[in-house]
Amino acid sequence: MKPADWAVLATALVSIVSYGLYRSRGSNTVDRYLLAGRTMPWYAMALSIMATQASAITFISTTGQAYVDGMRFVQFYFGLPIAMVIICATVVPLFHRTRVYTAYEYLENRFDSKTRSLASIVFLCQRGLSAGLTIYAPALVLSVILGWPERLTTSLVGAVVVMYTVTGGIKAVTWSDVQQMGIIVFGLIASLVTALALLPDSVSVFDAAYLAGVAGRLNAVTTHFDWQDRYNIWSGLLGGTFLFLAYFGCDQSQVQRYLTGRSIAQSRLSLIFNAVAKIPMQAFILFIGAMVFVFYLFAQPPLLFQRAELQRIQSRAEYPALASDYSRAFDRRKNAAVSIVESRHAGDSAQKERGIVEYRAAQRELDSTRARASRLVEQSGGEKGFNDTNYIFLSFVTQHLPVGIVGLVIAVILAATMSASSGEINSLATVTVIDIYRRHFRSGASDRHYLLASRWATAFWGVYAVCFAGFAGRLGPLIVAVNQVGSLFYGTLLGCFVLALGFRRVGGTAAFWGMLIGEAAILATAALTGISWLWYNVIGCVTVVAAALAITYAKPGEPVRKALSE
């Protein structure tokens, strides 16, 4: 990066952190530190929720996902609006009326303490792992820019996030997110405009879209049904609905955002805003990845986007032939792309069809050569299952964007992760203190004691996330990994809340064992079948409900509590 890029980066990050800490003044009680005194307006909550989802993983991995697999990942979000409407009608008013700090407090009101504790532990396992993935993403950015080892950059990013979160609490997190969303939107627009501006003069925006579509990079909707296909309209609508019901209804990292709202109406507005805006935003980010793909039709991309692994294989005897094959396949694809554009302009449909056939054949050859290079990485002592998807957008940004814009995009990526990581770590601390420590180890202590405990818990989960981040690079595309990790646990949580809200005869013991059976079903599905992870949420939820009902009717007579709101 140039000095101007570093100046833009530093200015953006300092302003975001300073503004958040300034707005967090007065966070000197547990209620203010964890829930901002329940005073947040709807727009701050809405932008904070969206910014939390738009972590560095979104920019680094989603664009790379579109580059290699097209836009069909957007179907993952098709169930979001459905889930938001259901949540607004059910748990939002319930949580507000009961004045809970966490979603799992309600489960003790409805069931018993062991069910609450089990749900809390499930959340801590899931969100603790996800926080590590979130921290790894910006560490990846710094490793690419500075050439430092990923372990070092992971530790540095983690330290900054922990200090920021320990100091400011949820109020600092939320107001920083508001400012950050403006930078995110501007950075996204700048990235797309730059990618299009760098195309050859003869290639229009419509030509670029056509070339992306011919290569399967604009395949936003897939209608066929396949249990093993991660992204189709059916898994998105059904599996996605279950996932987002669990995410926004049962995951404390999101529940805590709308618990800060000053009223039920304000919290509902924040969720409805996300229901309307999230899919277009995600499609826009994926489209940027597709346009980066088109840019690399005319400017030869590296054989591998991860420079360290590319350097690893350059000394191997197989490399010269591999590089030659790659250059030849690129030239073949480029010539075919030029032919398609020229025939489109000339109205020569026959020539265009011949160009498309050659274009797709060259793309397959290019993909095959990259796959050979990935296998060579493994054979040379690199990571098993090597995947460089997470490096694609970073390579484009650092090598091709103009001075100043590079710093802005990097600032967006780092600021997004500061937001997402701080929110996750804050929610982990909340559940640790409220649902575990205060409930089972130290009840009746002073507010100051619990405030101090919250800060220590925040620091602990930050260190935990940094430790797990060391394994994140082995999990493939981060945008897939973070949702896959969540799906291993979300179905269990969702099933428990479905029992609490919809099945009055089910007691705490049945719900407790139902959760254990449901989690076992999810883990068995993941280990023994090829079923896509989006379906884990459906399988887990249905299993929890079915098992709890079976226990209830097989052994009737367990006393059933009523929640406080009833």
- Rounded to whole angstroms, the Cα distance separating 161 from 210 reads 42
Contact 388, 309 (CB under 8 A): yes
Which of 125, 15, 17, 39 lies closest to 432 in space, CA to CA?
125
Domain termination residue (choose one: 342, 366, 387): 387
pLDDT, mean of residues 448-462: 87
Q: What residues make up the domain containing 277?
A: 3-297+396-554
Query: Per residue in 351-387, pLDDT tens?
Result: 999 999 999 999 999 999 999 998 898 888 877 778 7
- Spatial CA neighbour of 373 closest among 302, 297, 300, 303: 303
454 in a structural domain: yes
pLDDT band at 340 (very low <50, low <70, confident <90, very high): very high
Q: Look at 457 and 187; give whichever has higher pLDDT.
A: 457
pLDDT at 57 over 70: no
User: Measuring CA to CA, how many Å separate 67 from each of 61, 71, 191, 416?
Assistant: 10, 8, 14, 21
* Same domain, yes or no: 224 and 340: no
Are 353 and 220 contained in the same domain? Answer: no
Same domain, 265 and 336: no
Q: Is the pLDDT of residue 475 over 60?
A: no
243 against 51, higher pLDDT: 243
Q: Residue 229 has what pLDDT?
A: 72
In this structure, is residue 561 part of a structural domain? no
Report helix, strand or coil for 556: coil
Evaluated on CA atoms 143, 149, 155, 156, the torsion sign reads negative
Q: 153 and 266: one domain? A: yes
Q: Which of 333, 363, 387 is the C-terminal boundary of a domain?
A: 387
Q: Does residue 11 sit in the same domain as residue 125? A: yes
- Predicted confidence at residue 400, as pLDDT, reads 84
CB-CB neighbours of 376 under 10 Å: 20
For residue 566, is it within any domain? no
pLDDT tens, 128-156? 878 777 777 667 666 766 677 777 777 77
359 and 413, same domain (yes or no): no
Instruction: Note whether 434 and 501 are same-domain residues.
Output: yes
- The answer on 265 and 197 residing in a single domain is yes
Backbone angles phi, psi at 290, to 5 degrees: -65, -40
Stretch 483-505: mean pLDDT: 88
Residue 23: the pLDDT is 62
- Please tell me whether residues 358 and 419 are part of one structural domain: no
Read out DSSP for 352-419?
A: HHHHHHHHHHHHHHHHHHHHHHHHHHHHTT--TT---GGGHHHHHHHHHSPTTHHHHHHHHHHHHHHH
Contact indicator for 512, 552 with CB cutoff of 8 Å: no
- Please report whether residue 302 resides in a domain: no
Using DSSP's 3-state secondary structure scheme, residue 261 falls into strand
Residue showing tokens 């403006």: 182
Does the pTM surpass 0.85? The reply is no
- Give a yes or no: residue 564 inside a domain: no
pLDDT bucket at 271, cuts 50 / 70 / 90: very high
> Which of 266-275, 416-425, 553-562 has the least mean pLDDT?
553-562
**What is the percentage of the chain residues whose pLDDT exceeds 90?**
35
> Which CATH number does the domain housing residue 497 bear?
1.20.1730.10
Identify which of 320, 257, 335, 323 has the alpha carbon closest to the alpha carbon of residue 87. Answer: 257
Q: Which element (helix H / strand E) includes 116?
A: helix 113-146
pLDDT range class, residue 476, cuts 50, 70, 90: low
Domain tally, the chain:
2
Mean pLDDT score across all residues of the chain: 84
Examine the domain organization and report whether 378 and 290 are in the same domain. Answer: no
155 lies in the same domain as 209? yes
Lookup result for tokens 């509590």: 561
Whether 566 has a pLDDT exceeding 60, the answer reads no
560 occurs within a structural domain: no
Q: How far apart are CA 55 and CA 376, in angstroms?
A: 32
Q: What angle do CA 121, 122, 124 make, to 5 degrees?
A: 60
Please state the rounded mean pLDDT for residues 216-241. 83
In this prediction, residue 406 carries a pLDDT of 78
The DSSP code for 60 is: I
As a residue count, the chain comes to 566
Indicate if the pLDDT at residue 565 is higher than 50: no
**Same domain (yes/no): 197, 259:** yes
| Average pLDDT over every residue of 63-75 | 88
Residue that terminates a domain, selected from 387, 413, 441: 387
Confidence of residue 417 (pLDDT cuts 50, 70, 90): low
The pLDDT of 265-279, averaged and rounded, is 92
Q: Is residue 559 part of a domain?
A: no
Query: Does residue 191 sit within a domain?
Result: yes
3-state SS, one letter per residue, for 186-224: HHHHHHHHHHHHCCCCCCCHHHHHHHHHHCCCCCCCCCC
Decide if 540 contacts 495 (C-beta within 8 A). Answer: yes
Which token pair is 96?
A: 């507000």
Q: What is the mean pLDDT of residues 525-546?
A: 90
